[in-house]
Structure 1
Amino acid sequence: MTAAPQRISLVTGASRGLGFATALALGTRGDQVVALARTVGGLEELADAIEAAGGPTPTLVPLSLDDDGGLQRLGLAIHQRWGRLDLVVHAAAHAAPLAPAPHLADKDFDTSVEINLRGTRRLIAMLHPLLVAAPAGRFVYVADDRAGRPFYGAYGASKAAAESLVRSWAAESARIGPEVLTFAPSPMPTALRARFYPGEDRSTLTPCAEEAARLLARLETVAA
């Protein structure tokens, strides 16, 4: 019997938090992980952890989601090397400082839109052909329900807009693929959350590894 081809999985925000935990879980299972994040040190720690667990050496991509040229080169490199992407988990996000809506700084709002919304649009445009080329390509958007809460104007609005874009893509792709899903994790002790809740008791939060396992279990259930 011919062995199934190795799954090619791209994870954004892979240097820490849920992205790190998801990339580690995928690599440990034998996926060829393409790990994208801005923090080089975190990516190197991820590679060490995957290799220590016996997984294949991941491809590390130190890149920001506002780098159009870099993302285009990444898409071309994936196409030339593997010709497809089987799974994308989009966990990267920018956390703007909390502020009342009338006092949002232009820079903070613009960066939130650039990374959270436009970055998601860039990924969709770049990755769609690679996901369609896979036998059963899937894209997972890590959602957040803080839109509309006090002081979350920049973060909440940009995340909600990105989720709306993803849901439109999901509806458009329902019959022809790729499969597009959203995943709302439980509160986790991430650096992003620490910016919003600096005095919080982090011991009460769900470990990122548990949420990564729940995400992968959901993917297995959907596939079945």
Structure 2
Amino acid sequence: MKTALITGASRGLGAALALALAPTHHIIAVGRTTGALEELDDRIKEAGGQSTLAPMDISTDAAMQQLCRSIYDRWGSLDLWVHTAIHGAPLSPASHIAEKDFEKSVAINLTATSRLISYVTPLLGETGRAVFFDDPHAGQPFFGSYGTTKGAQIALARSWQAESVKTGPDVRILSPKPMPTGTRARFYPGEDRAPLSDIHTEAARLLPEILDPA
């Protein structure tokens, strides 16, 4: 069975994609919330799939090194990396951004992504695939921390994508529809969530773009 590493699998789109990919992939689920990962594992098993849980913080370098080493030791390679882990710092005027919030945004959204790219690239090799998800808020009022670091993450992914065209892995950047996630609820409190796309519906819509060999 193919393998899929999902960073940010404990909730939201990451969890929904884990369930959507489980029929065809052994899911390696990374997230900070152990209970949520265990619930995901139960649902995957109920559907006849298999998963390996990795309750850890992607900004902890030693943990990510150990994770990738463990993937190599057990499977030798990786077929798919789906990166949904994100830190949504509180909205704030640019002149009032708390230093700790900005540092955490940089650590999770940018630095951890850069490290993971370097660690995961050898596992993916020429034929594997990495998937990122754009959420453009750069330059929008009060989105200084999130917009800046999320935008930088996608810029980094686009560079990797351009560099890997001839050598692999295949790097894809997708654009999900707005979903009623916890992160969005913090950004838009009181928003009417009825028009938003259900996370499982969105996972099903994105799945062909994730798996399409073209």
Give the CA deviation at 1:118: 0.5
What SS class does the counterpart of residue 180 from structure 2 fall into? coil
Structure 2 residue 120 is matched with structure 1 residue 123: no
Name the counterpart of 2:168: 177
Match of 1:37 among 31, 41, 45: 31
Aligned residues: 214
Match of 1:81 among 74, 82, 91: 74
Provide, for residues 67-87 of structure 1, a one-character-per-residue CA deviation record: whole Å limited to 9, x for no partner. Answer: 000000001000000011100
1:18-66 residue CA offsets vs partner (Å, 9 max, x unmatched): 0000001111x1310000000111100100000111112x100111111
1: CA distance, partners of 2:154 / 2:82: 13
Measured after TM superposition, the shift of residue 220 of structure 1 is: 3.4
Aligned with residue 168 of structure 1, among 159, 171, 184: 159
User: Which residue of structure 1 lines up, in the alignment, with residue 134 of structure 2?
Assistant: 143
1:10 aligned residue (5, 10, 20): 5
Aligned structure 1 segments of 4 or more residues deviating by more than 4 angstroms: none
For the 8 Å contact 2:132–2:172, the answer to whether it is kept is yes
TM superposition shift of 1:214? 1.7
Post-superposition offset of 1:211: 1.4
Q: TM-score when scaled to structure 2?
A: 0.98
CA–CA separation in structure 1 for the residues paired with 2:29 and 2:152: 24
Which of 84, 98, 106 is matched with 2:91 structurally?
Answer: 98
Q: Corresponding residue for 1:213?
A: 204
Equivalent-residue separation in structure 1 for 2:202 and 2:139 (angstroms): 24
Equivalent-residue separation in structure 2 for 1:49 and 1:63 (angstroms): 20
Partner of 2:43: 49
CA RMSD of aligned residues (A): 1.0
Identity over aligned residues, as a percent?
A: 52
Gaps of 5+ in 2: none
| Structure 1 position 136, deviation (Å) | 2.0
Q: Which residue of 2 aligns with 1:3?
A: none
Q: Deviations over 1:142-171 (max 9, x none)?
A: 111111110000000000011111110111
Structure 1, unmatched stretches of 5+, are 1-5
Q: Which secondary structure state, in structure 2, belongs to the residue aligned with residue 182 of structure 1?
A: strand
Checking the alignment, whether the CA contact within 8 Å between 2:131 and 2:210 is kept in structure 1 is no
Aligned-pair CA distance for 1:183: 1.1
> Which residue of the other structure, out of 147, 152, 157, is the alignment partner of 2:148?
157
Q: Does 1:195 align with 2:176?
A: no
Query: Which residue does the alignment assign to 1:22?
Result: 17
| Shift in Å, 1:96 | 0.2
Tell me, yes or no, if structure 1 residue 68 matches structure 2 residue 61.
Answer: yes
